[in-house]
């Protein structure tokens, strides 16, 4: 689904990632770890075409990103849901409308999609908050809204960048359960996180591959941390 072949990425005159090769297979579950500044967010951006590698090849669903124009990238991103670390929303819109934004941008009929939107809002536990504005949400509610927005288009791959970084342990567990459930539905999941306890907790629910960025390279860390 997503393939990196000997990828390198340089930033500010220095190499941040080097010789990275990886294949994300359908239905797989991955954790991505590493210290702050190691390149986790950069690697996720390479996964969805927000950045181009300075060396090597990135293929999204079989197509090299260098051969894709802006429209191709935009269409491909409909198959990749991203939960960003900063959870940006439009504060003048309701939670429900923020979740529905990808549908609006893609030209979907919101009346037709209304039942799916309502079901998704309920699934992430925000049914009672659907009419609220983003500034009224707690950190955990914002993260769940971000997850709902990322999957409203039913993507094949979900990339989550530190989704539990600003929430307590109970909410971290709740978010993890939602991501595990998505994986059981056949979605490919990649979670970038510093939280090794979260990875250990996941072992009870899913067979996950743990990857670590160290010294600019990607290493298989194993499931036992």
**Is 187 part of a structural domain of the chain?**
yes
Q: What is the DSSP string of 135-190?
A: GGS-HHHHHHHHHHHHHTT--SEEEEESTTTTS-HHHHHHHHHHHHHHHHTT-EEE
**Is 85 part of a structural domain of the chain?**
no
Report the distance separating Cα 135 and Cα 140, nearest Å.
12
Same domain, 13 and 60: yes
How much of the chain, in percent, has pLDDT values that exceed 70? 97
**Is 225 part of a structural domain of the chain?**
no
Q: What is the pLDDT of residue 217?
A: 93
Same domain, 131 and 103: yes
**Is 10 part of a structural domain of the chain?**
yes
Number of domains in the chain: 2
Same domain, 164 and 109: no
Q: What is the DSSP string of 210-222?
A: EEEEETTEEEE--
Cβ neighbors of 170 (< 8 A, separation 6 or more) are none
**Is 179 part of a structural domain of the chain?**
yes
Checking if the pLDDT of 224 tops 50, the result is no
Average pLDDT over residues 153-158: 93
Q: Are 220 and 33 in contact (CB under 8 A)?
A: no
Same domain, 179 and 129: no
Tens digit of each residue's pLDDT (9 = 90 or more) over 54-93? 999 999 999 999 999 989 998 999 999 999 988 889 999 9
DSSP, res 134: G
How much of the chain, in percent, has pLDDT values that exceed 90? 62
Same domain, 75 and 6: yes
Q: Which residue among 127, 146, 165 closes a domain?
A: 146
Domain that holds residue 101: 90-146
Same domain, 71 and 160: yes
Same domain, 211 and 159: yes
**Is 50 part of a structural domain of the chain?**
yes
Q: What is the pLDDT of residue 111?
A: 67
Average pLDDT over residues 113-132: 90
Same domain, 134 and 72: no
**Is 84 part of a structural domain of the chain?**
no
Same domain, 27 and 50: yes
Same domain, 65 and 164: yes
Q: Are 95 and 77 in contact (CB under 8 A)?
A: no
Q: What is the pLDDT of residue 115?
A: 84
**Is 183 part of a structural domain of the chain?**
yes
CA dist 2 → 22, 27, 60, 101 (Å): 8, 12, 5, 25
- What's the CATH code of the domain at 203? 3.40.50.300
Q: Which residue among 101, 122, 146 closes a domain?
A: 146
Name the pLDDT band for 7 (thresholds 50, 70, 90): very high
Q: Which residue among 128, 146, 164 closes a domain?
A: 146
Same domain, 171 and 211: yes
């Amino acid at each position: 689904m997503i393939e990196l072949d000997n990828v390198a990425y340089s930033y500010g005159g220095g190499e941040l990632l080097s010789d990275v090769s990886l294949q994300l297979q359908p239905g797989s579950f991955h954790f991505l770890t590493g210290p702050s500044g190691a390149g986790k967010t950069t690697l996720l951006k390479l996964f969805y075409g927000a950045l181009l590698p300075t060396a090597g090849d990135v293929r999204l669903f079989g197509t090299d990103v260098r051969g894709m124009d802006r429209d191709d990238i935009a269409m491909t991103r409909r198959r990749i849901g991203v939960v960003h670390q900063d959870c940006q929303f439009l504060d003048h819109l309701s939670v429900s409308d923020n979740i529905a934004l990808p549908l609006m941008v893609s030209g979907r009929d919101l009346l037709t999609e209304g039942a799916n939107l309502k079901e998704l809002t309920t699934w992430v536990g925000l049914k009672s908050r659907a009419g609220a504005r983003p500034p009224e949400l707690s950190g955990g509610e914002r993260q769940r809204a971000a997850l709902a927005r990322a999957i409203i288009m039913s993507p094949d791959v979900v990339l989550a960048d530190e989704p539990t970084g600003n929430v307590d342990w109970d909410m971290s567990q709740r978010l993890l359960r939602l991501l595990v459930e998505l994986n059981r539905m056949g979605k490919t999941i990649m979670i970038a996180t510093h939280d090794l306890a979260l990875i250990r907790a996941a072992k009870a629910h899913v067979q996950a591959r743990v990857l670590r960025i160290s010294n600019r390279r990607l290493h298989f860390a194993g499931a036992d941390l």
